[in-house]
Amino acid sequence: MTRTSSRWRALQWLAALIAALAVASAAFAIDTTRFEDPEKQAQYQRMTHELRCMQCLNTSIADSQVDLAADLRNEVRDLVEAGKTDEEIRQFMVDRYGEFILFRPRSPWLYVTPVIFLIIGVLVAVRIIRQRSKLVAEDDSPVDDIAEESAERK
Amino acid sequence: MKSLRFALPLAGFLLIALVLYIGVKNSPDRQNLRSVLIGRPAPEWTLPDLMNPGAMLTNASFKGKPYILNVWATWCAACRYEHQTLMDLSRNQEVPIIGLNWKDEDNLAHEWLERLGNPYAAIAVDKKGRVPIDYGVTAAPESFLVDANGIVQYRLAGPMTHSIWKREFAPRIAGKSVVAE
């Protein structure tokens, strides 16, 4: 009986610790913006993670503690509140800060070029394989002979 | 044909190396990022006037001759650094410098101007920091050259110096000041 109660105690302590940590992490969270509409909340989260903090450059405005990032988050919050679409919010930022503010650039070349290179690679590979197989076909000596020959040599 | 088998991959490698080199070399940082506003009308604003409590300032009233819009604040160390240059420019009567006091406190701004001198023809106060966002400002100080037609001609991210003024601002002003009417 004493054993189970001491284990129970430990569990209680653990639970208290986890709760304390959860509260602490909530206190350290930068952004406390909340929307009534969960869809808008999701859009706000999505957009702030997609936009670059123009002062620190390699963090999103969601992750940055810089003053400007807070201002840009406010801007996003107002745009979301006003019912703007993702694309409208992106355009709003691009009109002011340029394409560089987007972590996911909209240039189609970025996405098309690798595919073009892949196609070129496949074409080259196919050509080489065809040429090689043609060489084998032209060769009179059966493949087995060559294999035997090399086996004998060993 | 045989030599091509070596030349082609080598050429491919060199091409990739070149593309990467250009990409790394031109990788944007805050200072050399080209403002998207250049060639476009300066975003309009109407803000409280620091020098005339209760009055409003609007940039529409500056149209007709070129001016500099200088975003500054007392919390900005580089603004302190460029202040003397702005003083010199205003003394030489180059073009009016309009200050945009960004997320600052009025009494600190007044104190700063009394201590260091006031190079500004007028100063607008933006406590919320909305207007700098319209201008794509990333950090103070930034200076915009707006021509007589209200078009942004140049943006400097960082402190103004005499050499930057001579190299970037003066020629553009000389070329543009005649354009009005």
pLDDT at A146 over 70: no
* pLDDT of the residue at A144: 61
Residue of B nearest to A70 (CA): B129
Interface contact flag, A96 B36, Cβ < 8 Å: yes
The per-residue pLDDT for range B55-75, each reduced to its tens digit, is: 999 999 998 999 999 999 999
CB contact, 8 Å: B9 with chain A?
Answer: no
DSSP string, chain B: -HHHHHHHHHHHHHHHHHHHHHHHHT---TTTPPPTTTTSBPPP-EEEBSSSTT-EEEGGGGTTS-EEEEEE-TT-HHHHHHHHHHHHHHHTT-S-EEEEEES--HHHHHHHHHHH----SEEEEESS-HHHHHTT--SS-EEEEE-TTSBEEEEEES---HHHIIIIIHHHHHHHTT---
**Which candidate from A75, A95, A98 shows the least CB-CB separation from B33?**
A98
* Cβ pair B63, B42 in contact under 8 A: no
Which residues in chain B are closer than 8 Å to A94, comparing Cβ atoms?
36
Enter the DSSP assignment of A60: B
| pLDDT, tens digit, 9 for 90 and up, residues A104-137 | 888 888 889 999 999 999 999 999 999 988 877 6
Look up residue B71 and give its two tokens: 């975003």
For residue B31, the model assigns a pLDDT of 67
Tens digits of residue pLDDT in B138-167? 988 999 999 999 999 999 999 999 999 999
Question: What pTM was estimated for this model as a whole?
Answer: 0.74
Q: Which of residues 93-132 of A touch B (CB under 8 A)?
A: 94-98, 100
- Mark yes or no for CB contact A75/B29 under 8 Å: no
Measuring CA to CA, which residue among B100, B152, B181 is closest to residue B172? B152
Disruptive mutation site among A72, A95, A128 for chain B (greatest number of B CBs within 10 Å): A95
- ipTM value > 0.85: no
Q: Which residues pair with B41 in a beta bridge?
A: B151
What is the C-alpha to C-alpha distance for residues A27 and A11, in angstroms, rounded to an integer? 24
